Amino acid sequence: MGTPKILIVDDRPENLLTLEGLLEGFDAELVRATSGEQALAHTLDHDFALILLDVQMPGMDGFEVAELMRGNRKTKHIPIIFVTASYKASEHVFKGYESGAVDYLLKPLNTMVFRSKVGVFIELFQQRQALSEKTLEFDRKLVELEELQQQLEETNEQLLMLSTTDGLTGLLNWRRFDELLNEEWKRGSRTGRPLSLVLMDIDHFKAYNDTYGHQVGDDCLREVAATLVKIPMRAMDKTARIGGEEFAVLLPETDCSGAIEVANRIRECVDALEKPHRSSPTAGNVTISVGVASLVPTPGDPARKLLELADVALYQAKSDGRNCCCC
Ligand code: GH3
Ligand code: MG
Ligand code: MG
Ligand code: MG
């Protein structure tokens, strides 16, 4: 906190000296002005705890100075005490208060009373300063708090992302897929609309890993996932990696023929990658087998029913020689 400043204004230097004498001993810095104009200029450079203002001055008088200060946002809070020897009439005192002064003192001044009043304003100033520092501190804390809140929201979003996303491929993971399957099953059992599921499994992937290594196997999983993502689907269709080399697409409001269409498209796209798989007994490239299931969800049955049906179809596709779709 800075030392409080008091502005003393009087056109007569001897009066300024008298005031200085009366203010001796206060922990305050005195700033002097010998005209109203000079006083106003000082108020733009300093924040005063108090202004002791003469009334009668050549040029701008004290009343004018006070009124101008009161009209200025930067200075209107500064307390002004008029100190005068000549303007003692009631109308002057009245005008003094009207112009915004907090007090109007007549000379000769009573030293004790004068010093107590000055002391009160110094104290008020210090309290005001402390309060504004607290406000600043509060504002800083508020900004910090807002930043923390923002970080927390971002972390929560990231956590949510991590808990629903497969780290290797960026597709939805089994956890999220299972949730969506159950949600769509419930929705379908309300609307009576069919729900379809396409299950995919890479053929002879163990052999692929054995031939090319696990890392290349991972790259292959990513490539198959990227292929699935590129196949045009509706926003409500959800693609996930639900196991090691197993993928799934959930197709709400889609019947069997629609789902088979999607399944064939996917199988063809993976085949068309022509990704070499020299140890595959099925083909010389990476292929998938696809199982399709479609049901109108019934309220009493679990969503698992659809999954089991698709699994049976997938098993059939494997038995039928792989790189094909079964329903
Ligand atoms: P099928 O045609 O009958 O599906 O034969 P398959 O070899 O693909 O099936 P199997 O279930 O015997 O083997 C699956 C392989 O997938 C075995 C496992 O090492 C591999 N696998 C599972 N998860 C990952 C993974 O995250 N990365 C890699 N590189 N391989 C994985
Ligand atoms: Mg004067
Ligand atoms: Mg498998
Ligand atoms: Mg497999």
Q: What 8-state DSSP symbol labels residue 6? A: E
Summarize the confidence of residues 289-309 as an average pLDDT. 97
**CA–CA dist 5, 12 (Å, integer):** 20
Q: Ligand 1 centre and the CA of 318: distance in Å?
A: 14
List CB-based neighbours of ion ligand 3 within 5 Å. 201
Q: Ligand 2 centre and the CA of 55: distance in Å?
A: 6
Helical (H) or strand (E) element with 292: strand 288-295
Ligand 1 atom with least separation from CA of 214: 29
Would you say residue 241 has pLDDT above 80? yes
pLDDT of residue 2: 86
pLDDT of residue 35: 98
pLDDT digits (tens, 9 = 90+) for 99-145: 999 999 999 999 999 999 999 999 999 999 999 999 999 999 999 99
pLDDT digits (tens, 9 = 90+) for 76-101: 999 999 999 999 999 999 999 999 99
What Cα–Cα distance (Å) separates residue 168 from each residue in 80, 163, 256, 286?
74, 13, 30, 18
Q: Ligand 3 centre and the CA of 173: distance in Å?
A: 15
- The number of the ligand nearest the C-alpha atom of 54 reads 2
Whether 241 is in the pocket of ligand 1, judged by its Cβ within 6 Å, is no
Would you say residue 215 has pLDDT above 90? yes
pLDDT of residue 228: 97
Whether 245 is in the pocket of ligand 1, judged by its Cβ within 6 Å, is yes
Question: Phi and psi at residue 258, in whole multiples of 5°?
Answer: -65, -40
Q: How many percent of the chain have pLDDT more than 70?
A: 100
**CA–CA dist 22, 16 (Å, integer):** 10
Nearest residue (by CA) to ligand 1, atom 14, is 206
Confidence of residue 1 (pLDDT cuts 50, 70, 90): confident
Whether 103 is in the pocket of ligand 1, judged by its Cβ within 6 Å, is no
Estimate the crossing angle of helix 111-164 against helix 174-191, to 10 degrees: 80
pLDDT of residue 287: 98
What Cα–Cα distance (Å) separates residue 174 from each residue in 25, 88, 246, 254?
80, 91, 10, 21
pLDDT of residue 130: 94
Whether 208 is in the pocket of ligand 1, judged by its Cβ within 6 Å, is no
Q: Ligand 2 centre and the CA of 86: distance in Å?
A: 8
Confidence of residue 33 (pLDDT cuts 50, 70, 90): very high
Nearest residue (by CA) to ligand 1, atom 19, is 206
Q: How many percent of the chain have pLDDT more than 90?
A: 98
Summarize the confidence of residues 206-213 as an average pLDDT. 98
Assigned token pair, 204 = 């002879």
Ligand 1 atom with least separation from CA of 220: 29
Nearest residue (by CA) to ligand 1, atom 10, is 206
pLDDT of residue 274: 97
Cα 252 from chain centroid (whole Å):
35
Q: Ligand 4 centre and the CA of 30: distance in Å?
A: 90
- The number of the ligand nearest the C-alpha atom of 244 reads 1
Residue among 174, 203, 205 whose CB has most ligand 1 atoms within 8 A, to mutate? 205
Longest CA–CA span in the chain (Å) reads: 118
Torsion of CA 294, 303, 322, 168, to 10 degrees: 120
pTM: 0.69
pLDDT of residue 49: 97
pLDDT digits (tens, 9 = 90+) for 142-162: 999 999 999 999 999 999 999
pLDDT of residue 171: 98
Q: Ligand 3 centre and the CA of 314: distance in Å?
A: 10
Q: Ligand 4 centre and the CA of 14: distance in Å?
A: 104
Nearest residue (by CA) to ligand 1, atom 15, is 206
Nearest residue (by CA) to ligand 1, atom 22, is 244
